[in-house]
Amino acid sequence: MTETRGEDPDRADGADPTDPAVAAVRAGLVADLDAGFAELMCRYQGVVYSVALRITGRPADAEDLAAESFLRSYRALRGYDTARIQTLAPRAWLLTITLNTGRDQVRDAARRPQPGNEPLPDRAAAGPSVQAQAQNTALGDELAALLGRLPHTQRAAVVLRHVVDLPITEVAEIVGCPSAPRSPTSPAGCAACANSSTPATPTGRLSPPPGAPHDRHRPDGHHQPRTAAPDFVTGRLRGLRTAAPAGLFDAVFDRWLSTGSAVGPVLVAYTRDGVSFVRTAATLPGEEFLEAYRRRFGRPLRPGGTAPPDLGAALFGQPDAHPRVDLRGLTDFQRDVLAATRTIPAGQTRPYAWVASEVGRPGAVRAAGSVLARNPVPLLIPCHRVVRSDGAPGRYLFGPETKQQLLRREHARLETADQHG
């Protein structure tokens, strides 16, 4: 599979569920969810990101919204049976999830102080003059700002209809209209869809440029003045469609690899933010590891490329190797327990009571032990160096024998709670 930054705007399929492209997407999801989801994302990430950008108004927020929307759709697919997937209309379904996810984010953003607007990505055209480029950018930026002033549902309808050029029946389905208008100017259906056919524009700067036609011919041969210049405005709105950023795919898909370690072969999953899961091949072999990761984190996986920096050295216990770890999804207490554990030097041990005390919860010894029993990145966060209060090694998620093997390898001295009381 070849990754792309987003589908060509002219390549996007329609809403027709019998479309061969739609059928191919559904078949891929049924055959292999992660591989099929990668194809789905490559095909639709451009349209999802374009809608996200025009809903949020900021590229960084749009990338977050698009990534979260794809992750929500992946988690939903994991619960769908084959029959439901085979009736899916992927584009409308994804964009519905995007709008629903974005609604709360837009509300949250409205409560926060807004920084200055970031520059929008360039909208390159073939051979325009510098003056024309400047004019196009100014017009596009003004239209983007105007979109931001519309109510959420109406803004969504305008973006779907004119920026990503969806059929009005599909727009109605996505924004939840009870029925779709019979034509772009029909009053039937919801107000948002009706209004989306003629987006409101300001006077003055968004009128057609010099040389553009201002009059249209009526069928009876007379001239009718163009007051709103709809063709010009809708053309500018289509120019607001934006390719997905190169990093969006990596924000959704995590990677995994198999490598060696001080305890034998291990499987490692990692995100763009760091290593997120480590298990031995003996405890979670092959597909069991992949399924355990998907179930625990709700994220798709693909085979990895280059290993994260310092990973190999850390897996073999080199004390100066500190690869980044990704502990998203954990509670503050869980992260604090793991952070305290990571400070224990090689060759030393600490009792569980010491860990609980370090995180300010001296009475939570059992809770600290439970966190370490589910340590997502053992070896990198050395939970094998935490022992029972009487100095006995205690349990370990790779087994007590493996724990003693690691402690012997580090020449560790088992210490009791009294020595750290």
Catalytic machinery residues: 383
Rounded Cα gap, residues 196 and 153, in angstroms: 10
Q: Please report, in angstroms and rounded to a whole number, the separation of the first and last CA atoms in the chain.
A: 57
Rounded Cα gap, residues 20 and 26, in angstroms: 10
CB 167 within 8 A of CB 15: yes
Which residues have a Cβ under 8 Å from the Cβ of 222 and sit 6 or more positions away?
A: none
Return the CA Rg of the chain: 28
Q: Which amino acid is at 74?
A: Y
Which residues have a Cβ under 8 Å from the Cβ of 193 and sit 6 or more positions away?
A: 157, 161, 168, 171, 172, 175, 177, 180, 181
H-run or E-run covering 137: helix 130-149
Tell me how many degrees the CA angle 88-92-93 measures, rounded to the nearest 5.
Answer: 55
Rounded Cα gap, residues 43 and 36, in angstroms: 11
